[in-house]
Amino acid sequence: MQFKNAVVLAAGLLVSGASFAGPVVSGFDANTLARNDDSYTGLVNIGFTVNFFGEEYSQLYVNNNGNVTFDYALATYTPFGLTNTSRVIIAPFFADVDTRYAGDPVTYGIGTYGGHDAFGVNWVNVDYYLSSTSHTARDSFQLILVDRSDVGSGDFDIVFNYDNIQWETGEASGGSPDGLGGYSARVGWSNGTGGADSFFELAGSAVNGAFLNGGPNALAGMTYTFQVRNGEISPPIPTIPEPETYAMLLAGLGVVGALAKRRRRQG
C-alpha cells in the first residue's frame, strides 16, 4: 500500500505541472554530448587532480545515463547496485536517460563553484527511454566536482544538485510509459572495490516513487555535498529546499487531493 501511495502522489504532481526552482547552477556547458541513447564521451579533462580512495584522477568519462566513471565508459542503462559494483563511479541519478528525440542533450565543462575551480555535468531537462516519443516528463540534475586543493592535495567536493525529478525509469528497465516503476534510479558512488566505506547509496535508491517530486525521498530542490579529504569521503551534507519549493510541493499535493476527490465522486 505504501508503494502505491507513493506512485499516485508522484503521478499527481506530474499532472499538476509543478516545476521546482532548485539549486542547479548555470555554466559547465562548454561541451555537449551529442543526442544519444546509452552513449558517453571519451576521456575528459576535469582541470585538476582528485584523490578518490587513494587513486588519483584528472580525467573521467561522462555517461549519458546519469553518471560519470573513472575506469572506463559505461553504457549500462538499467541501474545496478552501487554497493557491490566493480566500477569506479559517481552517479547523481543513474537511470536510462535518452536525449535522441526530446528534452535537451547533456552538457559538461570546466568552471567555478563557490570560488573554487570545478568541473560540472548538466543533465538538465533530460528525457528517458520509451519506445514511442509521446511523453513529456523531464528530469533536471547536476554533478559538480569542486577542487579543494586549498585544503589538501587531491581534496575535492562532490556536489549533487536537483531541480526537478518527474521520471525514475526507462521502459527498457521495466518502467511504465510515464517513466515510473521498474528498476528505478540509484544515487551515490563507489570506488569499485566493495570494501567497507568504499561505496554509498542515497536512501530511496531503487525504491519506486522515492525520488520523484513529492516522493518520500524527493530530490527536487535538494543539494547533497560530499567532502573528499585525503581520499576518504564524509557522509553527505544535504541542503534543505527553499521555502518556495515547499510551496510548490503543497500546490502539487492540492492537485493530488482534488484528483482523489474527483475519482471518489466518479466512483
The closest alpha carbon to 91, from 123, 118, 44, belongs to 123
pLDDT value of position 263? 32
Distances in whole angstroms, Cα of residue 114 to Cα of each of 17, 50, 154, 165, 239: 32, 17, 17, 25, 15
CB atoms within 10 A of CB 41: 19
88/85 Cα distance (integer angstroms): 8
CB atoms within 10 A of CB 123: 28
Helix (H, G, I), strand (E, B) or coil at 240: coil
147 contacts 116 by C-beta, under 8 angstroms: yes
pLDDT value of position 242? 58
For the stretch 213-222, pLDDT in tens is 999 999 999 9
pLDDT value of position 239? 85
Across the chain, what does the average pLDDT equal? 85
Distances in whole angstroms, Cα of residue 73 to Cα of each of 77, 96, 146, 229: 12, 15, 21, 25
pLDDT value of position 252? 42
Residue 204 has pLDDT above 60, yes or no: yes
Residue 43 has pLDDT above 80, yes or no: yes
pTM reported for the whole predicted model:
0.84
Locus of grid cell 517513466: 179
> Mean pLDDT: which of 22-31, 66-75, 244-253 is highest?
66-75
For the stretch 107-134, pLDDT in tens is 999 999 999 999 999 999 999 999 987 6
Residue 197 has pLDDT above 60, yes or no: yes
71 contacts 63 by C-beta, under 8 angstroms: no
113 contacts 120 by C-beta, under 8 angstroms: yes
